[in-house]
Amino acid sequence: MAGTGHEWGYDGEAGPANWSELSDDYHVCGAGRQQSPINLTDATRANVDRVTTRWSAVSDFEVVNNGHTLQANMPEGSISLVNGKRYELLQFHFHHQSEHTVDGEHYPMEAHFVHKSDDGVLLVLGVFLDAGQENEVLAPIWAVAPKSKGTARVTATIHPQDLLPQSSAHFTYAGSLTTPPCSEIVTWVVYEDPIPASDDQISGFAEVFPHNNRPVQALNRRQILQGF
């Protein structure tokens, strides 16, 4: 990578086990006690605050292969609310296979919807993708997705809301970015029900990103809550 970035990846010397060694800025990847992803199990049922998503349809947006994932950058105008706090949807991107596990099992893929509040707190909604019918929302994104580092535009209209499962059942816990610098500033909400993607869509992504998932991290002294 040009410039000052410390190149990290998912294999060998630059892989997850060594992220904290690659740069002083990545120290918390190794020393942190609230890292993500985690195995979601033994959750405590609770009356947790629901996430209200107020996302707009988008009809002209950028899709970036940044070498680590495929990311769709959202125009302004989509927000989510949790207990009255407002978070703006900035982008969503994908991992293969899933980063979180449920009772020790991976799904084929996981989407992350990254939001930020005005005071810099991140809210990430995680949605598992499982093999099933073709996903019509993903189709126009996959159709233009660059197979190497680069940027493309989607001009079809999509409704990102349609990438959420119908059930609002979810896990929630306090965690981190799953990529360097692994900052522990993320409220995670991971939906229990997966959405479908076709075998072709999953294998198409896997050809470009064979495994861009960080292994699960220690739970340490955290609680996983389960809301409905």
Residues making contact with Zn ion (CB under 5 A): 112
Beta carbon of residue 40, minimum distance to Zn ion (angstroms, whole number): 15
Beta carbon of residue 112, minimum distance to Zn ion (angstroms, whole number): 4
Beta carbon of residue 226, minimum distance to Zn ion (angstroms, whole number): 21
Residue closer to Zn ion by CB (options 99, 142) is: 99
Written as six digits, the tokens of 139 are: 């189709």
User: Nearest Cα to 170, choosing from 125, 105, 110?
Assistant: 125
Beta carbon of residue 155, minimum distance to Zn ion (angstroms, whole number): 25
What is the distance between the alpha carbons of residues 84 and 218, in angstroms, rounded to a whole number?
31
Residue closer to Zn ion by CB (options 100, 112) is: 112
> Are 26 and 180 in contact, with CB atoms under 8 Å apart?
yes
Beta carbon of residue 32, minimum distance to Zn ion (angstroms, whole number): 16
Residue closer to Zn ion by CB (options 201, 214) is: 214
Residue closer to Zn ion by CB (options 175, 227) is: 175
Residue closer to Zn ion by CB (options 112, 170) is: 112
